[in-house]
Amino acid sequence: MKIYSSEQIRNVALLGHGGSGKTTLAEAVAKVAGIIKRQGKVEEGNTISDFDKEEMKRGFSINTTCIPIEWQDCKINLLDTPGYFDFMGEAKEATRVADSAIIVVSGKSGVEVGTEKAWEYAEEMDIPKMVFVTDMDDDQASLKNVLEQLREIFGKSIAPFQVPIRDGEHFVGFVNVVKMQGRKFVKDHVEQCDIPDDMNEALEPVREMILEAVAESDETLMEKYFEGEEFTLDEIQTALHNGVIDGSIVPVLCGSGIQNIGVQVLLNSIVKYLPAPKEEHTSVMGVNPDNDKEIEVICDKNEPMSALVFKTIVDPYIGRLSLFRVYSGILKADSSYMNVNKDTSERISHIYVLRGKEQIEVKEIRAGDIGAVAKLNKTSTGDTLCDSSRPVKLKGINFPESLACRAIFPNKKGEEEKISSGLHKLIEEDPTIKVVMDSENHQELLYGVGGQHFDVISSKLEAKFKVTMDLRKPKVPFRETIKKKIKIQGKHKKQSGGHGQYGDVHIEFEPSGDRETPYVFETKIVGGSVPKNYFPAVDKGLQESVLSGVLAGYPVVGVKATLVDGSYHPVDSSEMAFKMATKVAFKKGIIEAAPVLLEPIVSVKVTVPDSYMGDIIGDLNKRRGRVLGMNPIKGKQEILAEVPQSEMYGYSTDLRSMTGGRGIFTLKFERYDEAPMEVQEKVIEDRNNEQ
């Protein structure tokens, strides 16, 4: 493949709702660009983008795929992303390295929640947007309805560059509003045609809106507009290009991915209106890892090399591939670069341009372009590779927090190691997966984005690493404490020939008021009834005792233990004897000191559109939650609440269901509170049944 300079490159993320037609559009683009002779179909599992076995099996995208297209002496790196929310981490990877986004909307379904999310991802990264309304070959499709929805949700920046021409109910062409020329579809290409007379009424407001946008971009053009002078085509296109880059104009194009309609116009518009890396990001800011000072990273082939690894592919057969974008300089084969995140050096042997699963070897990748390198064993997603002459750390990827949790159970004994190894490799590919060992409850916890995410993880584990697991509801880390003050004697006495064992302690147990600390130990011994050299043994006895409470065997917290009296034997007493006596006192004392179970309470922030407020608050109340307040945030409401952790299982799925995917939430551990009696009884019963 030809090496392209920064000015000739367009890095474009394809975003949109799941099933809106992104992969089909990418396939149509590949066909128009001459990469493939026959257009594949998602349902047949033969598209360039969806080459992973899981994608072919399920019929939707799971991974972000790069498809480089050569068009009009430009290279367009098309990043086809998943639309389903469980795989939003992949979309975040793409938007991090893209310079613009094309948001795909179905002309039949209109604006969906995934469209709104796609817009949010592009806004988060502050990249220009273009909308492509697909499925226009369907008689049920309506560009008018889609435009109304787009304007209502996203505002006046929405600018249709095309108006459909219909013959009866059929979509047969469009008017290019910028050039004011008709285009008619003839088989697999577009021919110029006259604008139908009955379309003037529909065209006039659209044309006027574009001319106003052009006028607002420049004072000279504004004067020309008020004086009634016509703009030249070059003036219009330059102004629109600048408007797209600053976000004041979001072009809307239409066509059909399945019928390959309007795709050529889309490619022309990408080259004409969307930014090149050098234009949009003449520089980005990095950080010097040695002193945390900001460094300007300029998109120029003559600068020192710096690149961000934005995706990792781990395959048992083809090995490990790291996808990267070069932000400055030239990344060359047979070179060594510094990984500033790991403070190590990586050797680059072969460099590839990936087109789906196809690997095209190249000698170098220049500033602004995207490539891949094999076998970087120390480099992970989000790491920066750079020239050692100028160490710089680029901003990483803001992945969504993984809040859905399951406990891992191997289906076969002895496969724990295999599961752990397989999951570790999947984490390299997908940083939204987390594995945490909960030693307290003897369970390994898997964190993901949602139920569909867990299904894919399990399926990949079986397909790639030949191991299966069962995912269940995790145990909740309860605690035990006491509510009363009690004084108790603990005695350990044993005689078995020779030296015996003797330890005797009188301990006061009471609530300490600090539930973050297991216990506080004090001594108030008068007259040396217990020698000081045995105090550490009493402390050790308490330390071991608080690991398991008397109600259900959960760790004990918030206890103050004061050694007030006792006795010893000059020959038979020992540290072991006093430790055992303390354990006896603890067990007897805690039972008499009104023991209770404590449950973990988490603070929850739920962000939803206003219309879902009532449902969310009602649901949190059902979960024994306490709503603390609400804050308006960017046109939505943030609900603050405290909820028992045990009631939050499955919340990510439930919230998505309640809000159609529009709600997001975060949670963090807050404190331990006494559980209601019915909860305590149920937990104690379940714990007893386990034993």
**CA–CA dist 541, 144 (Å, integer):** 76
Angstrom CA distances, 235 to 222, 247, 353, stand at 12, 18, 36
pLDDT in tens, 90-149: 999 999 999 999 999 999 999 999 999 999 999 999 999 999 999 988 888 888 899 999
Residue type, 413: K
Domains in the chain: ranges and CATH: 6-279 (3.40.50.300), 283-386 (2.40.30.10), 408-472 (3.30.70.870), 479-593 (3.30.230.10), 597-690 (3.30.70.240)
Q: E strands of 363-403, at which residues?
A: 364-366, 370-374, 384-386
Distance, in Å, from the CA atom of 278 to the CA atom of 286, rounded to the nearest integer, reads: 16
- Could you give phi then psi for residue 449, rounded to 5 degrees? -90, -30
Query: Which residue do the tokens 């009296």 mark?
Result: 565
CB contact burial 265-290 (16+ within 10 A = b; e otherwise):
bbbebbebbbbbbbebbeebebbebe
For residue 11, the model assigns a pLDDT of 96
Q: How does pLDDT run across 613-636, given as a tens digit for each residue?
A: 999 999 999 999 999 999 998 788
Supply the pLDDT for residue 140. 86
| pLDDT at 201 (0 to 100) | 82
What pLDDT, on the 0 to 100 scale, is given for residue 691?
Answer: 62
Q: State the sign of the Cα–Cα–Cα–Cα dihedral 636, 639, 645, 648.
A: negative
Low-confidence spans in the chain with pLDDT less than 70: 187-188, 280-282, 316-318, 496-498, 691
CA neighbours within 13 Å on the CB side: how many for 434? 16
**SS3 of residue 348 by DSSP:** strand
| Ranges assigned E (strand) in 135-180 | 158-160, 162-167, 170-176
Contacts of 105 (CB under 8 A, 6+ apart): 16, 17, 20, 111, 112, 115, 131, 132, 133, 134, 146, 150
- In this prediction, residue 24 carries a pLDDT of 92
252 alpha carbon, distance to own chain's centre: 28
Task: Enumerate residues 6+ apart whose C-beta is below 8 A from 542.
Answer: 519, 521, 561, 582, 586
Residues 133 and 141: their CA atoms lie apart, in Å, by: 9
Q: For position 582, what pLDDT does the model report?
A: 96
Furthest-apart CA atoms within the chain: distance in Å:
117
pLDDT score of 316: 65
Please report the pLDDT score of residue 39 as a whole number. Answer: 85
User: Which residues are registered as beta bridge partners of 407?
Assistant: 445, 472
